[in-house]
Amino acid sequence: MVSRFTFRERTDVCWQKRVRDSYLHEGTPDVDLSLKTAIVRPVSRRLAEMVIKKYEWLGTMATGVNRFYGIFFGPYCAGVTTFAPSGFGLPSLAKSFGVDGNRLAYLGRGANVHWSPPGANSKLIGHSLRFEQRLGNKIAVAFADTDAGEIGTVYQATNWIYIGTGSVWPQFVSQHGRLMSFNQFTKWAKDQRMKTPAARAFLLANGWREQKTNPKGRYVFILDRSDAALIARIERMRQPYPKRCGGSVAVGTSVVQIEGGGSNPTPPPHHPDPGQIGPEIANGGHSRPKSRAGRGI
């Protein structure tokens, strides 16, 4: 069986939908699910992490995220987005657009729950971008992960600009299927006070394997429409949207999917106050196995 972290089979269904479908048996809350009643607002990191760990295909929070938004139907949270400044871990990306890294919003993770209605993902992302715009950010960047069978459907639906695929980087996978990105690897090596070659040798000797990443599709949303030079620069990068071709991924589906259903629900993530966490979300997350190959990994 292919590890979920190295999901590269030809498919017309992205991995994240498979994750969400696995929870359909938990059912749907008794609440109006029409989009006109939905509210998007800032949420705590704890709530965002509960949803991401349960429903996002990697099951981890992205490095550096510090802004979190959720879409609510009544008191129930149906999905979250998480953002970070690109200057935290993607300085070269900001430089390529000619903007300050602290003015580039990176959509690190996003996920909707299994009962989230069609269109909720688009509304969540659209309103999240409004919050990021109010913070003074000039552009937002997101990636469609071809490892997860994604092409960026939700970004296409919300009018992001596709600028092609990014670079290929080494990554490491543990015996238990845990993925360590190159950024996580370099940070871990630094924390261990190990040089990169020694850190790599240590992982390989302890059962990890090295592989190359699949190239990720890159999407950009212009938040500052008054910057004509920025708009022109990004428009020159524009490429046609990738599409699915008979079950294969032409270039990378969205980080948040839209189906739902079920009956006799267990309590879904429930968050009546964006500043507090109630006991209703205690069942919301799950953890990934960790390797014992070394401290901190």
Element (H, E) at 15: helix 15-21
pLDDT of 12-34, one tens digit each? 566 677 777 788 888 899 999 99
The pLDDT value recorded for residue 100 is 87
Tell me the C-alpha distance between 196 and 240, whole Å.
38
Tell me the C-alpha distance between 245 and 242, whole Å.
9
Between 56 and 207, the higher pLDDT residue: 207
Cβ atoms of residues 51 and 79 within 8 Å: yes
pLDDT of 146-196, one tens digit each? 777 788 899 999 999 999 988 788 889 888 878 788 888 998 999 999 999
Between 263 and 4, the higher pLDDT residue: 4
pLDDT at residue 67 is higher than 60: yes
Percentage of the chain beyond pLDDT 70 is 75
Tell me the C-alpha distance between 119 and 258, whole Å.
7
Least confident of 96-100, 102-106, 259-263: 259-263
Confidence class for position 282, pLDDT limits 50, 70, 90:
very low
Tell me the C-alpha distance between 111 and 101, whole Å.
24
Confidence class for position 207, pLDDT limits 50, 70, 90:
very high
Residue 84: beta bridge partners? 106
Cβ atoms of residues 16 and 116 within 8 Å: no
Nearest by Cα to 111 from 52, 45, 46, 43 = 52
Cβ atoms of residues 253 and 57 within 8 Å: no
Tell me the C-alpha distance between 177 and 163, whole Å.
31
Least confident of 79-83, 98-102, 203-207, 276-280: 276-280
The pLDDT value recorded for residue 246 is 52
Domains, the chain, with CATH or none: 4-168+215-281 (3.40.630.30), 172-212 (no CATH)
The pLDDT value recorded for residue 88 is 58
Pairing relation of β-strands 244-245 and 139-144? unpaired
Structural tokens at position 212: 């190359």
The pLDDT value recorded for residue 294 is 37
